[in-house]
Chains A and B, each alone.
Chain A
Amino acid sequence: MKFLLARQAAVLAAVALLPAAGEAIYFRNNISWGSAIAPSEMVTVDQARAWGDTAIWVDARPDDEFARDHVPGALSLNEDRWNELLPQFLAVWSPGKKTVVYCSSLSCNASREVARRLRKEAQLSDVFVLEGGWEAWLKESR
């Protein structure tokens, strides 16, 4: 009986592999297996600084962390107050400008989520995630 159950489960598990493999091939350009963010969507502190005035810095950290300190000229845009802060960001944004989103460190997710929503919901292109986040900025600024 247990053998039958295991065999049934194994057949289902094997069958599900086929469409999954097909989908992995279909989406191969939309996702990187090496990093949560596609390399083309990442930017280092030095690269972002080199963009100068064409870059808009977006701080995806919570309000209290933004209030404590942030990249000079950065706008706060976090998911807690998304609907309230997005219009303020869009008022500053203009076509051709690059958006650099950061959160606290390499392991935080907020910048990735904010960048994803800017691309998907606000339909913006040229949205990048700062590699290493605020920690990397502080390190490079010393």
Chain B
Amino acid sequence: MNSTPNAQRPTLNVELATATSASDIKNRTSNIIWRILDFVLAGIFIYAGALKAIDPVQFASDIDNFKILPWPVSVALGFYLPWLEIFCALALVFRFLYRGALSILMVLIVTFTLATIAAKIRGLDITCGCFGHVSQNWSFPSHLATNLAILAALLALGISNRLRKPL
């Protein structure tokens, strides 16, 4: 009488185990992809931060070109923002203070983008200075596309971070 349920139990266990294993693999693959995105974004911000940290005088001048902030504030930001970018990028790599880093980077990229758009509207022909002098010859659409792509990636990381399980 009990033979039928007993006979079915191993099959159910195998199915459950298979389903769990498939789900684990899926989670693992998904986590690896998000980690790769962490590293790519961190690389971009470390590169951009280092370029500006090497030449803070030029970066202060780039900020001043926007004609939004007084010169002493541009100088202070010229020294400060590159290091903020670098530390936030390192936080992405080591997943330490992760959410705070994502928030700061999102605020920075939104600010850079809005400032670039405002400058364009005001007819100022300037470089955003986002990637130091490497970005000097970038066109306005290239700047905008790059910034929006970075913002989209940061948003995706922020959302995925709430959903994903640890590796």
Contacts and interface: CB of A to CB of B under 8 A. Distances in A.
| Size bracket of the B interface | 20 to 34
A23 B97 contact: no
Contacts, number: 76
Contacts of A31: 56-57, 60, 75
Contacts of B88: 12
A61 interface: no
A23 B56 contact: yes
13 contacts: A8-B99, A8-B100, A11-B100, A12-B91, A13-B84, A19-B83, A20-B79, A20-B80, A20-B84, A33-B72, A36-B61, A36-B71, A36-B74
B53 interface: yes
Given A8-B97, A15-B87, A31-B60, 10 more contacts: A8-B98, A12-B88, A16-B86, A17-B80, A23-B53, A27-B56, A27-B79, A33-B71, A33-B75, A34-B71
| Size bracket of the A interface | 20 to 34
B25 interface: no
A16 B64 contact: no
B80 A27 contact: no
A107 to B, nearest CB: 8
Interface in A21-40: 21, 23-24, 27, 30-31, 33-36
B103 interface: yes
A67 to B, nearest CB: 20
Contact of A12 (B65, B74, B82, B84): B84
